[in-house]
Amino acid sequence: MNSSKQYYEIGHAAFPFPFAALSKLVPNSQILFGTDYPAEPITSITDEISSLDLSKEQLDAIYRGNAIRLFPRLKSLV
């Protein structure tokens, strides 16, 4: 299995314990921002992500950069 072709959204993995497990299995380049909105408020995920003590580069990649690499046509969207 080639893990560089698998991506993981962190809709319910943004809490410290599951995120720590995920980040040990896959590089940050394979992690994408995801939510269960509208079933759950977006802040229930974003508040947890901000508590993970990630660098600005890691956050930028999770929030947007990794998705743009995966779907280049999204680059023109704000």
Asked whether residue 1 is domain-assigned, the answer is: no
Tell me the pLDDT of the chain (78 aa) as tens digits: 555 689 999 887 889 999 999 999 999 999 999 877 777 788 888 888 888 999 999 999 999 999 999 999 888 876
* In-domain check, residue 35: yes
- Residue 22: domain span: 6-71
In the DSSP assignment, the letter for residue 50 is H
**Total domain count for the chain?**
1
The gap between the terminal CA atoms of the chain, to the nearest Å, is 34
How many C-beta atoms surround the C-beta of residue 42 within 10 A? 13
pTM of the shown model: 0.81
Residue 76 lies in a domain: no
The answer, yes or no, to whether the previous bond of 18 is cis (omega within 30 of 0) is: no
Placement of tokens 């809490």 in the chain: 15
